[in-house]
Amino acid sequence: MFELWQARSRFLLPAWRRLYEPWSCEGDGLQYWRERILFSIYLCGALSGLIAYLPGILYLISRGGGWVVPITTLFYTMAVVVLIFPHHLTFRFRALLVICSLHLTGFCVLSVLGPYSGGFIWLFASAVMSGLLLGPHASILAIGANALTLTGLGVLLAWGLLPWSDEGLITFLPWVSASLNLLFLNALTAVPAATMMAGLENALFRQQGISAQLQIERQELILVRKQLRRLAVELIEAEEREKHRIAGLLHEDLQQLLAGARFMLQSAAHSEPTVLEEVKRLLEESIRKSRQLSHELSPAVLHHSGLTAALNWLCLHMREQFGLNVRLDIEPDKQVEKAPLKVFLFRAVQEFLFNIVKHAGVNTAHVQLSGSNNEFVITVSDLGIGFDKSILDTYTSKAGLGLLSLRERARYIGGSLTVESTPAQGSRFILRVPADMENTAHPVPPATRIEEKIHIPTGTPASAAGLGIRVLFADDHKVMRQGLIRLVNGKPDILVVGEAANGREALELTRQLRPDVVIMDVSMPVMDGVEATRQIKIEMPEVRVIGLSMHEDGNISRSMRNAGAEAFLTKTTSSAELLKTIYGIARKQHATSMSN
């Protein structure tokens, strides 16, 4: 019911601007003419209300209530002003002010007319009821109509033109007039209100349909955004897996083959010294380039050490490769051991430093690792030329895929990437990631390897102790093992007792054969060389271990020595150096046994 009354009021005068635009009505012809008629009634009622109110006041003066005139005028004017102008007030609040004003006016009239003033009070009250039932615009029309009634009564009674002396009959006329005005307004708005309610229902139905469609599209947009973030993460992880796979192929296949061929050439160097020396030089250059590419794609220190060691290696690499001096500050308690988080932070710092090299135009940078128990914070800053950080909001070639992918990856794992940069004032990258990030990265598939069975050279008795230095070779590449074995074969006091294809096989063979020296490759499947060395030294401390690796990395060397290895060599070392190390370790072992 209340909505119906509100609809009627909206139909009477849809907006106050109709006072200035009376010919802007839209709709069919009937509605257009109805709007024009209502506008005319409104205009005439408002103007006549202002004019007709004065004769009404004359009637009050004739009854001896001159002191009521200013108060009544004030309240009546307040009622009209409150209804018309302050539209920012709520309708209920305005109606309350009108009720108070008209009631006070009614009491003033009652104080003059006594018990015969009921009709005049109802005349004022009908305007209030029109506002409550039909809206404020209908109340204004009622005030105008009632003002016309007061005009007629006031003029006739004040000038003696009405020959009635019965005040009861006089007060009855306002009752009838106000009631007829109210009924007229109600009948006038009944049919248009029903039409408007139907239109409102249709509009509401359409709005609900549009809202439902917008909600569906919003959900689809959220889903697409999640998919894009997931794709960005998968792109980074796929790139990392591919780098690791290529680096593994270089390290585990190509470099091993080259190094094995080099050892074989060294064993045959006495045949054609000049030609073999040139071949040796080419092999060494090939090994160097493939090792450099392997380091750039997937640094071994990243997978064998903590984040601190990896970042130190990165700073050294940036200085040697690009001339960028990086100052590294790491809080002592900020150690990252989880592989996915460690790899992500390392790649992030690497990307930031590459951007500094390419765009900043400076040769210094600052990297800081800090944070709390709940998160890690990486801050990389420079004092270069800076850039407009708004380019990160939309993909451009200047923004680069790296920074955009880092930002999406950080959001995906619950972190954030903040870029502070101003042209000509340097840049600052702040990366925040949660410390308890789950392992979102997929396992990195190792390079293709051929599993081999344990091989013990035939014709070599396992009990041949005392006949020479008993050596066991452990390497997951057959060509490398054969090259090493061929290198030491025929050398005085060296006896090859076995060869293993992984760390676990090396451990089992060491238990069985008790060699004097184990030549242990660091990177092997099943069990790596570091762990195999550690277990060998725990169970058989008399066995000496020489670590071998394709990488010239101080962290790998320290890891092997901490595990118990007596020496560490790269596979690019000369055969003479390898033999010298084997003989030297054997002499130390012999001297130790003699002293005991």
CATH number at residue 508: 3.40.50.2300
Query: Residue 415, SS3?
Result: coil
Range from 140-154, 340-354, 467-481, 532-546 carrying the lowest mean pLDDT: 140-154
Residues 100 and 28 in one domain: yes
Asked if residue 109 and residue 27 are part of one domain, the reply reads yes
Is the separation of the CB atoms in 401 and 232 below 8 Å? no
Question: Are residues 133 and 84 part of one domain?
Answer: yes
Of 153, 177, 212, the residue that ends a domain is 212
If asked whether residues 503 and 404 sit together in one domain, one would say no
Q: Using a pLDDT cut of 70, give the percent of the chain over it.
A: 46
Q: How many CA atoms lie within 13 A of 348 on its CB side?
A: 32
One domain for residues 29 and 176: yes
**Among residues 177, 196, 212, which one ends one of the domains?**
212
481 and 430 within one domain: no
C-alpha to C-alpha distance for 158 and 63, rounded to whole angstroms: 9
What integer pLDDT is reported at residue 519 of this predicted model?
Answer: 94
Backbone angles phi, psi at 548, to 5 degrees: -130, 140
Segment of 179-183, 294-298, 412-416 carrying the highest mean pLDDT: 412-416
Look at residue 515 in the predicted model and tell me its pLDDT.
Answer: 93
Same domain as 180, residue 124: yes
Instruction: Provide the domain limits for residue 371.
Output: 305-447
Question: Residue 318: is its pLDDT beyond 80?
Answer: yes
pLDDT of residue 459 exceeding 50: no
β-strands 494-500, 427-434 pairing: unpaired
Give yes or no: residues 191 and 120 share one domain: yes
On whether the CB atoms of residues 60 and 68 are closer than 8 A, the answer is yes
Tally of domains in the chain: 3
User: Within a domain: residue 109?
Assistant: yes
User: pLDDT band at 447, cuts 50/70/90?
Assistant: very low
The residue out of 197, 212, 227 marking a domain boundary is 212
pLDDT mean over 484-499: 85
Q: Which amino acid is at 454?
A: I
As a whole number of angstroms, the distance between CA 233 and CA 406 comes to 8
Q: How confident is the model at residue 511 (pLDDT cuts 50, 70, 90)?
A: very high
368 and 494 share one domain: no
CA distance 558 to 313: 14
pLDDT confidence tier of residue 474, bands split at 50, 70 and 90: very high
User: Do 165 and 25 share a structural domain?
Assistant: yes
Strand partners, 369: 330, 378
**Residue 183: which residues within 8 A CB-CB, separation 6 or more?**
none
Q: What is the mean pLDDT of residues 336-346?
A: 78
314/435 same-domain check: yes
What percent of the chain is helix, strand and coil (3-state, nearest 5)? 65, 10, 25
User: Are residues 442 and 473 both part of a single domain?
Assistant: no
| 14 within a domain of the structure (yes/no) | yes
